[in-house]
Amino acid sequence: MKPTTSTPGEFAFLCDAARSLGAADAKVIPASDVIVENRVPLKCRAGCIGYGKKLTCPPYVPTPDEFRKILAEYRYALLVKFISPATADPDVICSIYRYWLDPAAPADKKEQATQFWKDHFNGTGAFAPMMLELERTAFNAGNPFALAFINGSCRLCESCNVKAGICIHPAQARIPEHAVGVNMVKTAEKAGMPIRFPVQGHPELMALLLID
């Protein structure tokens, strides 16, 4: 771990920048307060339709053990909370993938699930660019290894260049924090800015910026 020669207050300008870009909340925490668990990426493998289909997702990203070593080289992390415009009935949200993907799902439930994802993807499309802007802002303030992680898988390409193994948008593509094992529910709760889970109303999303 680098010697701590500054305080979180040094990065208050990043919290202000996050809110000015549209974030619901932002907070700087010690990087050591980011909670990494081996079980988190297992949910990618067991429950995500994007597993193995994107170079920014498992198994193409650092493992939790590898990420712990990377995280130890950072002093602070900026947590950024966003609010999705999507909403649906509680029973639909609790089975959102099933109602969205199952051809046999009741038509009314499928319609709600489809609208939910349409609103979610349309409304959260600016979140990744916001995190990149915060990364750029931190970089230009003297943090050369500032690195953003995004909530949700990369949406830059309709089909990822997985077979060739080379990302064609490396300057824009970023890894979802849960893909490397970050438990954002616990991390956000520890930071005093909890996210509602299970989802109620509009989903609350959390992204992460590591600051060196």
Tens place of pLDDT per residue across the chain (212 aa): 443 455 678 999 999 999 999 999 999 999 999 999 999 999 988 878 889 999 999 999 999 999 999 999 999 999 999 999 999 888 888 888 888 888 899 999 999 999 988 998 888 888 999 999 999 999 999 999 999 999 888 989 989 999 999 999 999 999 999 999 999 999 999 999 999 888 888 999 999 999 98
The pLDDT value recorded for residue 4 is 46
The pLDDT value recorded for residue 7 is 66
Q: Supply the DSSP symbol for 193.
A: -
Per DSSP, what are the bridge partners of residue 72? none
| Residue 86: how many other CB atoms lie within 10 Å | 21
The pLDDT value recorded for residue 1 is 40
What are 68's two structure tokens? Answer: 């712990």
DSSP 50-103: TTTTSTTSTTSS--HHHHHHHHTT-SEEEEEEEE-S----HHHHTTHHHHHH-T
Cis peptide before 8 (omega within 30 of 0): no
